[in-house]
Structure 1
Amino acid sequence: MAPSVVENAPIQQKSPSATPDSKRVTPPQLQVLGKTKDGRDLKIRSYPKFDTLEEERLYRKQHLAAAFRVFADRGFDEGVAGHISVRDPILTDHFWINPLSAHFALIKVSDLILVDEDGLVVEGDEPINAPAFAIHSEIHKARPDVHAACHAHSVAGKAFAAFGRELDMITQDSLRFYKSHGVYRDFRGVILDREEGQRIAKALGQGKAAILQNHGLLTVGQSVDEAAFWFMSLDKTCHAQLLADAASAAGYKKIIIDDDEAAYAALQVGGPEKGWLAFQPYYDEQVAKTNGNFLL
């Protein structure tokens, strides 16, 4: 007999260590062992401090270019769809973004386009994607705490977005998005007007991600590194959820992580420092693979 809907209902995990009134110390975002046997403290990589805003601008552009190449390696590119932006640290109502027809795998720092709040190109000789401006301009405007945004049509992202629903908290990695992602359900075709960009920004709220129904995924961060890693993680989380949902059809029951444990673990795995650090191995890989030629 085929399993019933009731039999497939997810199990809500109940943790004996967590009760509604339990008080737990806020966990550190980075879990490292960084002391040598002779007592020296080892340095943990962190977002650098800059002597000038021009230095920070270059850093942001270099990491933006790397993010495109990382996305290309993972198949997040599709024709001229998909875009990543980073706020300019000098002209803070401007942002850098990819040119319309450049393949993600080929983008260099010198290819990046600077646009103002009206969508006018300030630096660069190529046009930009109109839907990209409609989305990114409104996100940067609505979220001054956000310096970068990523949007692409990954396969797992598109598949999960077809359901117009939030993620289940079924893995440690999914907890990066615990109460920090929304769903934009008002699909109206290609996004061309800023009013729809505003609605997407509203669906995003104060979270780090949004699932755009029948469309794709969107993530944001305080750095382009963070936003890019959240996108990579969100895509994998969607993939894992689709596999878990498929297994549920055979009668297996998903175990949903208890809210108390989810809230605590989200602080461990979902902070901006953790997101930034998690992207650095991918940045290093791009430097090694290309001899740093994308930095030009």
Structure 2
Amino acid sequence: MTDPTVEEELRLRRELAAVYRLVAHFRMTDLIFTHISLRLPGPDHHFLINPYGLLFEEITASNLVKIDLDGNAVDPTPHRVNPAGFVIHSAIHKARSDAQCVLHTHSRSGCAVAAQSDGLLPLNQISMEFYNRVAYHDYEGVALNLDEQKRLVDDLGTHPVMMLRNHGLLTVGSSAAQAFLRMYYLDKACQIQVEAQAGGSAVVLPDPTVCEYTARQLNGETDESDYQDDDAYDLAWAALLRLLERVAPDYRD
């Protein structure tokens, strides 16, 4: 008889491995130096994270490392874990029950906007998904200090995304799929902002009331049905998995 716990872990491993491959495919990586984690079900507070030293394009379901909230490997593994990955991710998983997946990047545009005093601006419909929904955390050095965890969690609060100032981007989600899609569009919003500012002309900001209304539409917080988050994300995620089956089907191994 198949153990449902084992089957569920395999499903989650494949989902997280898919996110790693998609981050690589869309060029949001920083060699081996960022991380994505996914909480496993159960009372033990275990989560999956990348083996330190592998490129994201090398990540598979089977080589993800299972660790506890203290950063200890749960199962035998030849790999170790990025210490900064443990500091950031364990703090958020411990504090936010809804943060099943935590995704962190150092993309070029994300780092550029994270270094701007005004942060993310509502310059385009894509960025308006995050209007008044972005947290900010001031830079304190490489995230190796456990004392930073409380400040990081306090700054994140209940927000779905955060800009780590002078550092990069972070998203959380109720699934790996949701965390990835939030990152995909947060990063795209940053790209649009950098390119708009490079144009040399003054940028146009919509009325704040319109921005908030659009954010509510895009987050499924209105009575309208066209932009319901669950439906849109499910359709997009299915399309992304079809993409991976064409370009990197070994993520499932």
Q: Structures share a fold, TM > 0.5?
A: yes
Q: In the alignment, what sits opposite 1:283?
A: 241
Aligned residue in 2 for 1:60? 12
Question: Equivalent of 1:256, from 206, 209, 223?
Answer: 206
Question: Contact between 2:113 and 2:119, CA under 8 Å: does it hold in 1?
Answer: no
Superposed counterparts of 1:60-139, under 5 Å: 60-91=12-43, 93-123=45-75, 124-139=77-92
- Which amino acid in the other structure matches residue 247 of structure 2? K
Deviation at 1:257, TM superposition (A): 4.1
Aligned pair 1:237/2:186, yes or no? Answer: no
Change (3 A) 1:164 1:149: farther
* Residue 44 of structure 1: aligned partner: none
CA contact (8 A) 1:168 1:256 kept: no
d(CA) in 1 for partners of 2:128 and 2:5?
A: 34
Give, as a single letter, the amino acid of the residue that structure 1 aligns with 2:116: F
CA deviation map 1:161-199 (0-9, x unaligned): 1114331222211122122211112x1221102221322
**Aligned match of 1:227:** 179
Map Cα deviations across residues 29-67 of structure 1 (whole Å, 9 max, x no partner): xxxxxxxxxxxxxxxxxxxxxx94443322221111011
Seen in structure 2, the aligned counterparts of structure 1 residues 227 and 279 have a Cα distance that, compared at 3 Å, is same
Pick 1 or 2: higher relative contact order, CA cutoff 8 A, min separation 6.
1
2:44, 2:161 → 1: CA distance?
22
One-letter amino acid of the counterpart of residue 215, structure 1: H
Q: Distance in 1 between matches of 2:33 and 2:219?
A: 27
User: Which shifted more, 265-274 or 221-230?
Assistant: 265-274
Say whether the 8 Å CA contact 1:225–1:280 is kept in structure 2. no
Equivalent pairs: percent with the same residue? 34
- Counterparts of 1:143 and 1:99, CA distance in 2: 23
The alignment status of 1:176 with 2:129, answered yes or no, reads yes
Q: Tell me how far apart the structure 2 counterparts of residues 286 and 161 of structure 1 sit (CA, whole Å).
A: 30
Matched residue SS, 1:256 = coil
Cα separation, 2, equivalents of 1:288 and 1:92: 36
Q: Does 1:211 align with 2:168?
A: no
One-letter amino acid matched to 2:250: N
Equivalent residue in structure 1 for 2:110, among 154, 157, 160? 157
State the one-letter code of the partner of 1:210: M
**8 A Cα contact 2:28 2:105, kept in partner:** yes
Asked if residue 265 in structure 1 is aligned to residue 222 in structure 2, the reply is no
For structure 1, list consecutive stretches of 5 or more residues without a partner in the other structure: 1-50
Letter of the aligned partner of 1:266 in structure 2? A
SS of the residue aligned with 1:149?
A: strand
RMSD value, Cα: 1.9
- In structure 2, C-alpha distance between the alignment counterparts of 1:175 and 1:58, rounded to whole Å: 35
**C-alpha deviation, 1:98, in angstroms:** 0.2
Secondary structure in 1 matching 2:32: coil
Structure 2: gaps spanning 5 or more residues: 221-228
Q: For structure 1, which segment, 278-287 or 124-133, has the greater mean C-alpha deviation from structure 2 after superposition?
A: 278-287
| 2:98 matched residue in structure 1 | 145
Structure 1: distance between partners of 2:73 and 2:109: 33
Alpha carbons of structure 1 residues 286 and 190: separation in structure 2 relative to 1, 3 Å = same
Residues 78 and 153, structure 1, Cα contact 8 Å, conserved in 2: yes
SS at structure 1 position matched to 2:99: coil
**In the aligned structure 2, how far is the partner of 1:54 from the partner of 1:135?**
27
Q: Higher helix fraction: Structure 1 or Structure 2? A: 2
TM-score computed with the length of structure 1 as normaliser: 0.76
Q: 1:111 is paired with a residue of what secondary structure?
A: coil
Q: Which amino acid aligns with 2:252?
A: L
Counterpart-to-counterpart distance in 1, 2:98 and 2:251: 28
